[in-house]
Amino acid sequence: MTSNYRLRLPGPTTVPERIRLATAAPMQAHRGAEFKAMLAEVQEGLRAVYGTAQDVYLFAGSGTAMMEASLANVLAPGDAVLVAIAGQFGERFAAIAAALGAEVDTVDGDWGQGIDARELAGRIARRDYRAVVVVHNESSTGVTEDLAAIGAALRERPTLLLVDSVSGLAGTEMKMDVWGADIVVSASQKCLMCPPGLGFAAVSAKAWELVKREGTVPRFFYDFRRARAALEKGETAFTPPVSLVYGLREALRMIAEEGLVNVVARHRRLSSALREGCGKLGLEPYNRPAVASSTVVALKVPRGLEGTKIVAHLRSRYGTVIAGSRSPRLHNKVIRIGTMGAVSEADIQTDLAHLEATLKDLIT
Taking the complex as a whole, the smallest distance from the CB of residue 64 to ligand PLP amounts, in Å, to 3
How near is the Cβ of 253 to ligand PLP at its closest, in Å?
A: 23
Q: Is 20 helix (H, G, I), strand (E, B) or coil?
A: helix
Q: Say how far apart CA 227 and CA 232 lie, in whole Å.
A: 9
Taking the complex as a whole, the smallest distance from the CB of residue 59 to ligand PLP amounts, in Å, to 12
Alpha carbon 155 to chain centroid, angstroms: 23
CB count in 10 Å sphere of residue 147: 26
Distance of alpha carbon 289 from alpha carbon 335, whole angstroms: 17
For ligand PLP, which is the closer residue by CB, 46 or 187? 187
Long-range contacts of 121-125 (CB under 8 A, 24+ apart): 121/153, 123/82, 124/82, 124/153, 124/154, 124/157, 124/159
Q: What single-letter amino acid sits at 126?
A: R
Q: CB 98 → ligand PLP: shortest distance, Å?
A: 16
Nearer to ligand PLP, 89 or 111 (CB): 89
DSSP state, residue 290: G
CA atoms within 13 A on the CB side of 318: 22
Taking the complex as a whole, how short is the minimal distance between the CB of residue 244 and ligand PLP, in angstroms?
Answer: 13
d(CA 220, CA 225): 9
Least distance between ligand PLP and beta carbon 81 (Å): 17
Closer CB to ligand PLP, 11 or 171, in the complex: 11
Nearer to ligand PLP, 102 or 352 (CB): 102
Q: Rounded to whole angstroms, how far apart are CA atoms 323 and 357?
A: 17
Interacting residue ranges for ligand PLP, rule: CB under 6 A: 11, 62-64, 89, 135, 137, 139, 164, 166-167, 187
Measured distance CA(262)–CA(89) in Å, rounded: 28
Name which of 134 and 160 has its Cβ closer to ligand PLP: 134
- Which CB, 187 or 270, lies closer to ligand PLP? 187
Minimum distance from CB of 8 to ligand PLP (Å)? 14
Q: How far is the CB of 164 from ligand PLP (least distance, A)?
A: 5
Q: Report the residue number, 196 or 277, with the smaller CB distance to ligand PLP.
A: 196
**From the CB of 296, what's the least distance to ligand PLP, in Å?**
8
Nearer to ligand PLP, 69 or 160 (CB): 69
User: Facing residues of 184 across strands?
Assistant: 163, 202
CB 274 within 8 A of CB 348: yes
Q: Which is nearer to ligand PLP, 135 or 355 (CB)?
A: 135
Residue 202, helix vs strand vs coil? strand
Strand partners, 336: 298, 323
Do the strands 296-300 and 103-108 form a parallel or antiparallel pair, or are they unpaired?
unpaired
User: Which residues, 6 or more positions from 187, have their beta carbon under 8 angstroms from its beta carbon?
Assistant: 11, 61, 62, 63, 66, 166, 196, 198, 199, 200
Q: Which residue minimizes CB distance to ligand PLP? A: 63
